[in-house]
């Protein structure tokens, strides 16, 4: 649980002892959220940051006519409502897709750590940036590529992200979403999602039964999706980590003033 936050942030590079200490000293609170319930409601002004320890979730917006638009899928290790840390109000909601275990940290404490440890601030900031990059990728896929490629791309993305946190089982992974969810996410009707999935199955690219996706033909799936995992920045090592020593001494100098 706690370690998942550390692991998350260390994805970009090792944290110092002091930094790890600070994170481990955080009084994490755990809570469970039932499937299909809100983790963070739309328009909420949470006072804590919520991290998914276990389970799948989605960001969504409700449209005027009552329909729901899914904006992103969240997996273990993802932060739900970082946005509210600085902008206060959530412009969208986050809902659990299956049973979720959520860890929460009060804004106060996180802001404090961020002030004391600039590198942690930058690591968390990175999270916002990767979130934005993923959103842009979805935006690019939307509207311009046909349903077949869109869904293929989604399946590629989720496999890659799950793989990065060790939640794949070879070419297979759990994906607890209905076809309606996929439709809400890709901007397609359920009916069309259904037919497109059948096409993907018929073409031998995937299988998808009882919430388990299995990639049967990676090269062709990736080609159909025009998938390039670069945007996910899964193994990026930002410059400030490479210069950890000098940076830290620079910080010390400032502190010593």
Question: Could you list the residues that contact its own copies (CB under 8 A)?
Answer: 59, 61, 63-64, 67, 69, 71, 82-83, 86-89, 91-92, 107, 111-112, 114-116, 118, 121-122, 125-126, 128-133, 135-140, 142-145, 186-188, 226, 230-231, 233, 236, 238-240, 247, 250-251, 254-257
Decide if residue 21 touches DNA (CB under 7 A).
no
Pick from DNA, its own copies, none: which does 210 bind, CB < 5 to 8 A by kind?
DNA
Tell me the two tokens of residue 108: 């106060």
Query: Closest separation between CB of residue 200 and its own copies, Å?
Result: 18
Decide if residue 63 touches DNA (CB under 7 A).
no
Cβ-based neighbours of 219, under 8 Å, separated by 6 or more: none
Residue placing its CB nearer to DNA in the complex, 12 or 208: 208
- Match 């319930």 to its residue by tokens: 37
Give the number of other Cβ atoms within 10 Å of residue 85's Cβ. 19
**Which of 135, 190, 232, 236 is close enough to bind DNA by CB under 7 A?**
190
Q: Which stretch binds DNA (CB under 7 A): 8-16, 85-93, 102-110, 179-187?
A: 179-187
H-helix or E-strand spanning residue 114: helix 107-116
Q: Report residue 29: phi and psi, to 5°.
A: -115, 140
**b/e code 216-226 from CB counts within 10 Å (16+ = b):** eeeebbbebbe
**Which of 4, 189, 207, 244 is close enough to bind DNA by CB under 7 A?**
189
**Whose CA is closest to 178, among 216, 208, 204?**
208
Alpha carbon 153 to chain centroid, angstroms: 16
Burial of 121 (0-12, 13-18, 19+ CB in 10 A): middle
Interface characters, 65-104, with DNA (x: CB under 7 A): ----------------------------------------
User: Site residues (CB under 7 A) for DNA?
Assistant: 146-148, 178-180, 183, 187-192, 194-198, 210
């Amino acid at each position: 649980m706690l370690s998942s936050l550390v692991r998350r942030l260390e994805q970009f590079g090792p944290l110092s002892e002091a930094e790890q200490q600070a994170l481990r000293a955080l009084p994490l609170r755990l809570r469970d959220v039932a499937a299909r319930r809100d983790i963070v409601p739309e328009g909420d002004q949470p006072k804590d940051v919520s991290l998914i320890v276990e389970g799948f979730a989605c960001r969504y917006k409700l449209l005027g006519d009552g329909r729901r638009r899914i904006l992103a899928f969240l997996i273990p290790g993802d932060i739900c409502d970082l946005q509210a840390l600085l902008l206060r109000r959530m412009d969208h909601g986050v809902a659990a897709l299956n049973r979720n275990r959520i860890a929460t940290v009060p804004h106060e404490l996180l802001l404090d750590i961020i002030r004391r440890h600039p590198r942690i601030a930058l690591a968390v900031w990175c999270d916002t940036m990767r979130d934005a990059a993923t959103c842009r990728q979805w935006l690019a896929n939307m509207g311009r590529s046909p349903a077949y490629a869109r869904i293929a791309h989604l399946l590629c993305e989720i496999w890659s992200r799950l793989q990065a946190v060790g939640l794949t089982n070879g070419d297979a992974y759990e994906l607890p979403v209905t076809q309606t969810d996929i439709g809400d996410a890709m901007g397609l009707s359920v009916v069309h999602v259904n037919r497109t999935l059948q096409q993907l199955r018929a073409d031998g690219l995937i299988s998808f039964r009882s919430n388990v996706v299995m990639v049967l033909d990676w090269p062709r799936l990736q080609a159909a999706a025009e998938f390039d995992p670069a945007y996910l920045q899964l193994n990026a090592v930002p410059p400030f980590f490479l210069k950890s020593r000098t940076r830290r001494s620079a910080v010390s100098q400032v502190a010593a003033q």
